[in-house]
Amino acid sequence: MTDLPRIDWPTLVVFMPLMGAMLAFVCPRQAAGLGLVAVLSTAAAVAALVLEVLAQGAVVTRLGNWGAPLGIDLRADGLSTLLLAMTAGVGIFVSLGALDSYAPMRADARTRRYFWPLWLLLLTGLNGAFLSTDIFNLYVMLEVIALAAVGLTVLSGRREAVRAGLEYMYASILGALLFLMGVGFVYLELGRLDFAGLIAAEPAPALTAAVALMIAGLLLKSALFPLHFWLPGAHANATAPASALLSGLVVKVSLYIFLRLTQYMPLPDELLVTLMGALGAAAILWGGIQALRAERLKLLVAWSTVVQIGLIFVAFARAGQLGLVESWKAAALLILAHAVAKAAMFLAAGRIKDEVGHDRIRDLDRSHIRPTLAQFTFALSAISLIGLPPSLGFAGKWMLMEGAMAAGYWHWIAVTMIGTLLSVAYFSRVLAGFLRFDRLRTPVGEHQGWALADAAPLILALSALGLGLAAAPILAFMEIGYPFGTTP
C-alpha cells in the first residue's frame, strides 16, 4: 500500500457501472443518458488503469486490507487489463449502437428502460470477473453476469426469445452450480480459495475433482460443442445490441476463467487436453455445417460463434500440459479478436435486419433498400472472423498455427485450415448476396436512421482489422504482471 493519495482504479472499474446501473434503474426516464455516461466513465477508469499497469506493472488492491486468503484481492495484470479494455471498447460502441437501436421511434419505452440497467449490471459483472482473484468471488460474478445476460436475451419479450432465454438460464445456472461444487472441493482440500493458494497446491484427488467440475461448468457456460445447445437460440433471438454483448463479451468471461484456471490448476491428464481440442474441432465442423444451413442471418452469426469458440479451445488444447505460453497467448488474442469482430457483426446484422425488414439470407439481395454501410461492416468483420490478414483474427490464428507447427501438431493445423475454409464458405453465402445488388433493378434505397448506428459497428470492424497490425504491442502488454505460468 502506498502512502500517496491515489485513486484505486480497479475498484472504480467495478463500482462505476454499478452506480450507473442503480441510477439508470431509479430514474428510468433518463436511463439512456445516465447509462451512456456510466459506460464512458467506466471506460475512462479502464484507460487510467491501463496507464497505471503500463507504468508500474500489475496493480493489486487488497480490499478491506485483509489480504488474500481471508479477504479478497483485485488484481489487474496485463491479461485482465487487456480484457477490461476490450470490454470497455466494445461496450462503448455497442452502447452507441443501442442508443439508436432502442431509440424512441424503434423500440418501446420498456425496452429502453430495462436495457441500460441490465447492461450496466452486466458490465459490473464482467469487470469484476476479470479482476477477481478468488474462485468463490468468480462464482458470484458469474451469477451477476448470468442474470443480467438472461435479462438481455429476453428483452424483446417475444416467445422464441423467452424460450431461448429459459434454456439459457438452465444451462447457465447448471454451469454455475458445477463451478460452485468445484469451489466446495477446493475448500475441502485447501481451506482457501484465492489463486495464490491454487498455485501453491499439491496435486490431490479432491483438486482433480474440483478441476473437473469447474471445467465442466465453464465448458457449459462457454458453449463448447456438445454443450452448445443453448447458444444459437439465445444469441439469434435477442435484439441486436444484446446479441452483440452476449456473443462478444459474455461468452468470453468463461473462456477467460478457463484460461486462468488451467494456468493455476493444470489439467491432470494430457488426454483431457486432447479431448478438449477434439471437442473444439467437432465444434468447428458442426458449427460450420449448421452455419452453412442457417436460413437467417443472425442465426448464421450465432453459429459462427460456436465455431470460433471451438477454435479457441483448439488453441487451448495445442498448449499441451506444459503451458506453451505462445498458444495461451494465441487463445487470448483469438478471444479479443472474436469479441471485437463479433460485436461488430451482430450490430451490422441488426442494422441490416432493421433496414431491410427481415434477415432471411436468401432474400437479402432482393430488397429495395440497400444498407450499404452495414453490409460493408459485415464484410469487414467477416474478414477478421475468417482470419485474413491484417486482421486480429489472422494474428491469433497465425500464432496458433506457428506454435502447432513448432510442436509438430499437424492435425490441429489441419483442423484450423478446415475451419477457415468453412467460415469462408458460410460467410460468402451472405457476402455474395450483398454483391449481387442488381437483381432488382431499383435505385439504391435511402438510408433510414442515424449515421451513428452505422458508424459504431463500422469502427468496431475497422479496429478488428487494424488491431491485427498492433498484435505485437498487444502481446507485449498482455505479459505485464506475468499472467502466464508464473505466480501472481
Partner 1 sequence: MSSGMIFGLTGLAIFTIGLFGALVMVEPLRRVLALKLCSVGGGFMLVVAAWRAPPEVADPVPHALVITGIVVMISATAVALALIRRLHTLEHDSDD
Partner 2 sequence: MADPLLIFDALLGVALIALAIAVLVVRDRFAMIVLFIIFGLMTALAWVRLSAPDVALAEAAIGTGLAGALMLKTLHHIRAAPAAPVPVSVGVVFANMGFCAMVFVGLAIAFMATSLEAPGLAPQVAQNIDASGVAHPVTAVLLNFRAYDTLMEVVVLLAAIIAVWMIERGIEQAPARHLGEIYRGFARLALPAIVVIGTYLLWVGAYAPGGAFQGGAALAAVGLLLLLSGLYRPQPAHRPIARLGFVLGIAVFASVALLVASGGRLPFEYPPAHAKTLILLIEGVVTISIAVTLAALFHGREPEAIPVSETRA
- Three-class SS string for 371-406? CHHHHHHHHHHHHHHHCCCCCHHHHHHHHHHHHHHH
By the rule CB under 8 A, 230 interacts with partner 2: no
Type of residue at 326: E
Q: Does 163 bind partner 1 (CB under 8 A)?
A: yes
The binding track of 59-88 with respect to partner 1, each residue x by CB under 8 A or -, is -----------x------------------
Nearer residue to partner 2 within complex by CB, 63 or 462? 63
DSSP string, 347-371: HHHHHHHHHHS--BGGGGGG-S---
Binding piece for partner 2, criterion CB under 8 A, among 185-193, 275-283, 321-329, 451-459: 185-193
Residue 375: partners with Cβ closer than 8 Å, 6 or more residues away: 348, 352, 434
CB of 172 to partner 1, least distance (A): 8
Number of other residues whose CB lies within 10 A of the CB of residue 63 = 15
Residues of span 267-306 touching partner 2 by CB under 8 A: none
Residues in the chain: 488
Q: Give the one entry of partner 1, partner 2, none that residue 21 binds, where binding means its C-beta sits below a cut-off of 5 to 8 angstroms depending on kind.
A: partner 2
CB neighbourhood size of 439 (10 A): 10
Beta carbon of residue 276, minimum distance to partner 1 (angstroms, whole number): 20
Q: Is the four-CA dihedral 350, 353, 359, 364 of positive or negative sign?
A: negative
The reply to whether 214 sits near partner 2 by the rule CB under 8 A is no
Question: Does 170 help bind partner 1 (rule: CB under 8 A)?
Answer: yes
Distance CA 208, CA 187 (A): 13
Tell me which of partner 1, partner 2, none is bound by residue 26, counting a contact when its beta carbon lies within the kind-specific cut-off of 5 to 8 angstroms. Answer: partner 2
Judged by beta carbon, residue 3 or residue 438, the one nearer partner 2 is 3
Does residue 183 belong to the site contacting partner 1 (CB under 8 A)?
Answer: yes
8-state DSSP, 226: G
The region of 4-12, 45-53, 137-145, 339-347 touching partner 1 under the rule CB under 8 A is: 137-145
DSSP state of 439: G
Strand, coil or helix: 61? strand
Given a contact cutoff of 8 angstroms between Cβ atoms, the answer to whether 129 and 103 are in contact is: no
Name the amino acid, one letter, at 203.
P
Q: Could you tell me if 484 and 325 are in contact, meaning their C-beta atoms sit under 8 angstroms apart?
A: yes
Q: Which string of x and - marks every residue 22-61 that binds partner 2 (by CB under 8 A)?
A: x--xx----------------------------------x
With contact defined as beta carbons under 8 Å apart, do 80 and 14 qualify? no
C-alpha cell at 108: 418501446
Could you identify the residue written with the cell 456438445? 226
Grid cell digits, residue 178: 458445477
User: Quick check: 147 binds partner 1 (CB under 8 A)?
Assistant: yes
Residues 112-131 within binding reach of partner 2 (CB under 8 A): 114, 117-118, 121, 124-125, 128
Q: Quick one: what does residue 128 bind among partner 2, partner 1, none, with the CB cut-off 5 to 8 Å set by partner type?
A: partner 2
Alpha-carbon distance of 387 to 312, in angstroms, equals: 13
Contact 130, 80 (CB under 8 A): yes
User: Minimum distance from CB of 433 to partner 1 (Å)?
Assistant: 32
**Residue 48 or 162 having the CB closest to partner 1:** 162
By rule CB under 8 A, what string of x and - marks binding of each residue 188-217 to partner 1? x--x--------------------------
Which of partner 2, partner 1, none does 436 bind, CB closer than 5 to 8 A by kind? none
Give residue for cell 498482455.
478
- Tell which one of 103, 212, 272, 425 touches partner 2 (CB under 8 A): 212
Where would I find the H helices in 31-134? Answer: 31-56, 78-101, 109-131
Residue 132's CB is within 10 A of a number of other CB atoms, namely 25
If one asks whether residue 150 binds partner 1 (CB under 8 A), the answer comes out as yes
**Site residues for partner 2 per CB under 8 A:** 1, 3, 5, 8, 11, 15, 18-19, 21-22, 25-26, 61-66, 69-72, 110, 114, 117-118, 121, 124-125, 128, 134, 136-137, 140-141, 143-144, 147-148, 150-151, 154-155, 157, 162, 185, 187-192, 204-206, 208-209, 212-213
**Site residues for partner 1 per CB under 8 A:** 70, 136, 139-140, 143, 146-147, 150-151, 154, 157, 159, 162-163, 165-166, 169-170, 173-174, 176-178, 180-181, 183-185, 187-188, 191
